[in-house]
Amino acid sequence: MQDFDLIVRGGQVVTPRAGLVRADVGVRAGKVAAIGEDLFSEGAQTLDASGLWVFPGLIDPHVHLGNHFPFAQELSTETRSAAYGGVTTLITTVRRESFTTPPQPYTTFFKDAVKKLEGIPAIDWASHFTISPSSPLHEVQACYEELGTQSYKIWLSNRDREIDRGMGLDKFWHFLRLVEKMPHRPLVQVHAEDDELVRGATEIAREEKMEGIAAWNAARPNFAEEMSIRAVCHLARLTGVSVYIVHVSSREGAQVIAEEQRKGTPVIGETTTHHLTLTTDTAGVIAKVSPPVRVQADVESLWEQLKRGTLTTIGSDHVTKKKSAKEGGIWDCGPAFPGMETLLPVLLTGCRKRGIPVETIAEACSLNVAKTFGLYPRKGHLGVGADADMVLVDPRKQQVIRVENLHSIADFSPYDGMETLGWPVATILRGRLIVRDGRLLADSGGSFIACYPDGPA
109 Ramachandran zone, left/alpha/beta (phi>0; psi -120 to 50): alpha
Contact 14, 20 (CB under 8 A): yes
Q: Please answer whether residues 29 and 7 qualify as being in contact, where contact means their C-beta atoms are separated by less than 8 angstroms.
A: no
The verdict on residue 48 lying in a domain is yes
At residue 140, the pLDDT reads 83
Task: Specify the amino acid at residue 234.
Answer: H
Q: Please tell me whether residue 291 adopts helix, strand or coil conformation.
A: coil
Q: Are residues 224 and 175 in the same domain?
A: yes
Query: CB–CB of 357/21 below 8 Å?
Result: no
Q: What pLDDT score was predicted for residue 456?
A: 40
Distance set, CA 389 to CA 119, 319, 326, 407 (Å)? 18, 24, 35, 20
Number of domains in the chain: 2
pLDDT at 1: 63
99 with 180, same domain: the answer is yes
Torsion sign over Cα 339, 341, 342, 345: positive
Give residue 97's pLDDT: 86
CATH assignment at residue 125? 3.20.20.140
- Buried b vs exposed e over 326-358: b needs ≥16 C-beta within 10 Å? beeebeebbbbbbbbbbbbbbbbbbbbeeebbb
Kindly state whether residues 416 and 273 are assigned to the same domain: no
Cβ atoms 288, 216 nearer than 8 A: yes
310 lies in the same domain as 424? no
Q: Which domain does 18 fall in, by range? A: 6-53+387-440
pLDDT tens digits, the chain, 457 residues: what are they?
689 999 999 999 999 888 999 999 999 999 999 999 999 999 999 999 999 999 999 999 999 999 999 999 999 999 999 999 999 999 999 988 889 888 888 999 999 999 999 999 999 999 999 988 777 777 787 888 888 888 999 999 987 777 778 899 999 999 999 899 888 888 999 999 999 999 999 999 999 999 999 999 999 999 999 999 999 999 999 999 999 999 999 999 999 999 999 999 999 999 999 999 999 999 999 999 999 999 999 999 999 999 999 999 999 999 999 999 999 999 999 999 999 999 999 999 999 999 999 999 999 999 999 999 999 999 999 999 999 999 999 999 999 999 999 999 999 999 999 999 999 999 999 999 999 999 999 999 999 998 865 544 3
Angle between helices 140-147 and 106-116 (to 10 degrees): 30
Q: Closest Cα partner for 312 from 301, 327, 302? A: 302
- Residue 31 and residue 117 in one domain: no
Q: Is the domain of 43 the same as that of 103?
A: no
**CA-CA-CA-CA torsion for 11, 13, 14, 15, nearest 10 degrees?**
-170
CA distance 260 to 230: 8
Query: Would you say residue 320 lies in a domain?
Result: yes
**Angle value at C-alpha 308, between 305 and 314, nearest 5 degrees:** 55
- Please enumerate in sequence order all residues whose Cβ is within 8 A of that of 313, keeping only pairs 6 or more positions apart, or say none: 61, 268, 269, 270, 271, 364, 365, 368, 369, 372
d(CA 407, CA 409): 7
Regarding whether 62 and 49 lie in a shared domain, the answer is: no
349 belongs to a structural domain: yes
Q: Are residues 116 and 247 in the same domain?
A: yes
Here the CATH number for the domain that contains residue 408 is 2.30.40.10
**DSSP-derived secondary structure for 327-343:** -S-TTTSPP-B--TTTH
* Cis amide linkage into residue 102, ω under 30° from 0: yes
Q: Angle of helix 251-263 relative to helix 222-239, nearest 10 degrees?
A: 20
- 44 and 103 fall within a common domain: no
Residues 190 and 309 occupy one common structural domain: yes
